[in-house]
Amino acid sequence: MTPKLNVVPFVSVDHMMKLVLSIGIERFLLELCAYVEDDFRRWESFDKVARVAAHSPDGVIELMPTSDGAAYGFKYVNGHPKNTRDGRQTVTAFGVLADVANGYPVLFTEMTILTALRTAATSAVAARHLAPKGARTMAIIGNGAQAEFQALAMKALIGVDRLRLYDIDRAASEKCRRNLQGFGFDIAICDGTEEAVQGAEIVTTVTADKQNATILTDNLVGAGIHINAVGGDCPGKTELQAAILRRADIFVEYPPQTRIEGEIQQLPSDHPVTELWRVIVGDVQGRTDGRQITLFDSVGFATEDFSALRYVRDKLAGTAFYEELDLLADPDDPRDLFGMLLRAAA
């Protein structure tokens, strides 16, 4: 049978949910962690560029491309913290994977759910290399759309099973606790950040606010903790008091992007940081002692989306969790595009 050259598998939100649930959320996260880590290991084989961002007063729209020479991927993603007020998501996304050899897309997918999964998987991979060994307690400051994913990835990969939740909107923390029932967590809802970080070996900040906020102050950061700073991911949008950054060993994805978007935008542009991939390949040691404060200054990088696209593509084979999109023109004679248009009128 001649392969259909015009169709591209498309994974809708509905199909993505079915795919994730059919695999199992924690297994999905674990397998995705492996893909993310594999791609960090071959960091040097990727084309890398800081994402292209279009800023407006209320948010940002970004394009995130990368390629490993065989496949090309990109994600369209937004960040609009005020969106939740009228029922929209802060972050939505979709993405494409394509074959470099002929330029044809091989996958088109929703990436709102997939972004939450890949962000959580990346946090967990970073924590495996940077957090204190055997860490079980994590504070999560900001209990919105990303929060449960962060919790489950940390559980699946490194065994975190005690959560201390804080959100300025208690209803968000209640939602998070409700959603995580049955996943084996011991969960406390706290009245403030100070209470939430008590006894936490990992502190995840994942709030949404388009400003230089101070979600975590220096006096709350004790020796030996790992900070997973996820919400500060845009110029003028940070979560940590600058003094924390001066005490911490800072690990980043792609420095040219993180210097613009991450917590380190608050620091001089030559402040030393370590690229996470160097720790993963063993060039540099991550955590060196029990008193060290490690900080993963996460902003989200294109290779992580590429890993997620690759994973979904591999998992789709043999399932019914996609539809075929008539996305590409396929005239009988490749040079007779116009003739194909005319014949459609007949």
Ligand X SMILES: NC(=O)c1ccc[n+]([C@@H]2O[C@H](COP(=O)([O-])OP(=O)(O)OC[C@H]3O[C@@H](n4cnc5c(N)ncnc54)[C@H](O)[C@@H]3O)[C@@H](O)[C@H]2O)c1
Nearest residue to 44 (alpha-carbon basis) of 319, 280, 213:
280
Contacts of 181 (CB under 8 A, 6+ apart): none
End-to-end CA gap in the chain: 27
- 233 annotated active-site: yes
* Contact flag: residue 299 with ligand X (CB under 6 A): yes
48, two tokens: 């890398």
- Least Å distance, CB 127 to ligand X, is 14
* Contact flag: residue 258 with ligand X (CB under 6 A): no
Q: Which stretch binds ligand X (CB under 6 A): 30-38, 61-69, 142-150, 284-292?
A: 142-150
d(CA 294, CA 245): 9
- Least Å distance, CB 91 to ligand X, is 4
Angle subtended by helix axes 13-23 and 302-316, to nearest 10: 70
Site for ligand X in 14-73 (CB under 6 A): none
CB 325, CB 8: distance < 8 Å: yes
Q: How many CA atoms lie within 13 A of 227 on its CB side?
A: 32
Binding ligand X (rule: CB under 6 A), the pick from 29, 138, 208, 308 is 208
Binding ligand X (rule: CB under 6 A), the pick from 145, 157, 196, 216 is 145
Q: Which stretch binds ligand X (CB under 6 A): 66-74, 77-85, 103-111, 273-281?
A: 77-85
Q: How many CB atoms lie within 10 A of CB 313?
A: 18
196, two tokens: 């939430």
User: Active-site residue among 167, 233, 297, 305?
Assistant: 233
* Contact flag: residue 168 with ligand X (CB under 6 A): yes
Which secondary-structure segment (H or E) carries 310?
helix 302-316
* Contact flag: residue 141 with ligand X (CB under 6 A): yes
d(CA 218, CA 214): 10
Amino acid symbol at 261: E
Nearer CB in complex with ligand X: 254/321: 254
CB 165, CB 188: distance < 8 Å: yes
Site for ligand X in 90-109 (CB under 6 A): 90-91
* Contact flag: residue 231 with ligand X (CB under 6 A): yes
> Where do we find the tokens 């490993």?
68
* Contact flag: residue 307 with ligand X (CB under 6 A): no
Binding ligand X (rule: CB under 6 A), the pick from 92, 109, 137, 143 is 143
* Contact flag: residue 225 with ligand X (CB under 6 A): no
* Contact flag: residue 169 with ligand X (CB under 6 A): yes
Q: In angstroms, what CA-CA distances link 90 with 14, 59, 109?
A: 19, 9, 19
Helix (H, G, I), strand (E, B) or coil at 65: strand
Q: Which stretch binds ligand X (CB under 6 A): 36-44, 165-173, 285-293, 311-319?
A: 165-173
Q: Which stretch binds ligand X (CB under 6 A): 66-74, 103-111, 157-165, 166-174?
A: 166-174
- Least Å distance, CB 61 to ligand X, is 12
Q: Which residues bind ligand X (CB under 6 A)?
A: 79, 81, 84, 90-91, 115, 119, 141-146, 166-169, 172, 206-209, 213, 215, 230-231, 233, 298-300
Catalytic residues: 233
